[in-house]
């Protein structure tokens, strides 16, 4: 299950261009294990990297692992560094590549003038509450369009860009001439259009399995009608776990629940962007935290 195909290829090609345009060599970007480990120092490091890669941009540190980036003649957007910082902490050997690719993503978006959201690019993602809390820290863009979903998870409206996902702020809606209600409806329609067919195909193949792909995979749990239809076909209660943004585990019944939870825990331990191993049971009103057998 994929979404926004081609973004990774464009990014890989563009990394070299970013380094050449900014005068940075690979060694400069890596700084021989010199990427700081503390969050404040890491934030300053990335801010300097962005300034070098995007000459003329105004880069401001607005919070822990958060930057405001205003390109020359462009619109200011908030950039969250929590994910790339987490990857660097878990996999120091790939940190230089992760940071370079992250900055390349940003520069690509700004230089191709894709920074402004449009109605066609509105989507939603499912994320833990920590993501919402991080978005609300920035005093300039602290109004994410987010709704509680199930347990610790929220549905967050985003702008789908060629190489990244930008969290949507209420301040962005004026330019789209949309109310919050209309933006939510449009984001649902757009995301269903992108994911609905592949989700239906996946759930039609069996009663247990794994959905994986990209950062929108977790969004599939919102399409309750598809999951209810699958549960009816399988003649049992449907359960899911969302251990990462790009993985959803599902099963019917609790017979193999220990193995199910163990596998979710393994994914959480290894994922670049781990969520949790919490399990949810499907009801006619949506997902609820599951009361699992001991």
User: Structural domain boundaries of the chain?
Assistant: 7-111, 119-188, 195-289
Q: How far is CA 87 from the centre of its chain?
A: 13
Rounded Cα–Cα distance for residues 190 and 278 (Å): 27
Which pLDDT does position 18 carry in this prediction? Answer: 44
Q: Which residues pair with 60 in a beta bridge?
A: 68
Query: Buried (b) or exposed (e) across 234-246, using 16+ Cβ within 10 A?
Result: beeebbbbbbbbb
Q: Give the tens place of pLDDT for each residue, 185-220.
A: 999 999 999 999 999 999 999 999 999 888 899 999
Which pLDDT does position 70 carry in this prediction? Answer: 82
Q: Which helix (H) or strand (E) holds 61?
A: strand 58-63
Which pLDDT does position 131 carry in this prediction? Answer: 87
CA-CA-CA-CA dihedral for 79, 82, 83, 89, to nearest 10: 140
Nearest to 198 by CA among 213, 177, 215: 213
Nearest to 78 by CA among 153, 150, 172: 172
Which pLDDT does position 144 carry in this prediction? Answer: 92
Residues of the chain with pLDDT under 70: 1-34, 74-76, 109, 111-116, 162-164, 272, 293-294
Which pLDDT does position 115 carry in this prediction? Answer: 56
Longest dimension (CA), the chain: 61
């Amino acid at each position: 299950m994929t979404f926004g195909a081609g973004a990774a290829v464009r990014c890989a090609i563009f990394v070299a261009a970013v380094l050449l345009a900014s005068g940075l060599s690979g060694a400069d970007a890596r700084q021989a294990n010199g990427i700081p480990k503390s969050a404040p120092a890491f934030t300053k490091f990335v801010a300097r990297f962005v300034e070098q890669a995007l000459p003329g941009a105004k880069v401001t540190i607005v919070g822990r692992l958060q930057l405001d980036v205003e390109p020359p003649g462009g619109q200011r957007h908030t950039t969250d560094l929590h994910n790339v910082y987490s990857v660097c902490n878990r996999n120091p050997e790939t940190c230089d590549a992760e940071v370079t690719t992250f900055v390349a993503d940003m520069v690509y978006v700004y230089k191709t003038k894709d920074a402004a959201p449009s109605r066609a690019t509105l989507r939603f993602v499912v994320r833990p509450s920590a993501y919402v809390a991080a978005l609300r820290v920035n005093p300039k863009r602290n109004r994410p369009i987010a709704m509680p979903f199930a347990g610790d998870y929220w549905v967050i409206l985003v702008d789908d860009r060629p190489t990244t996902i930008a969290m949507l702020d209420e301040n962005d809606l004026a330019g789209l001439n949309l109310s919050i209600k209309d933006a939510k409806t449009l984001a649902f329609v757009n995301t269903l259009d992108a994911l609905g067919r592949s989700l239906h195909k996946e759930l039609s193949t069996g009663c247990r399995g794994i959905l994986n792909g990209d950062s929108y995979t977790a969004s599939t749990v919102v399409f309750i009608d598809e999951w209810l239809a699958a549960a009816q076909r399988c003649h049992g209660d449907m359960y899911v776990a969302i251990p990462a943004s790009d993985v959803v585990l599902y099963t019917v019944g609790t017979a193999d629940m220990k193995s199910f939870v163990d596998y979710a825990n393994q994914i959480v331990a290894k994922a670049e962007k781990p969520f949790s191993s919490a399990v949810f049971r499907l009801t006619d009103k949506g997902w609820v935290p599951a009361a699992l057998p001991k």
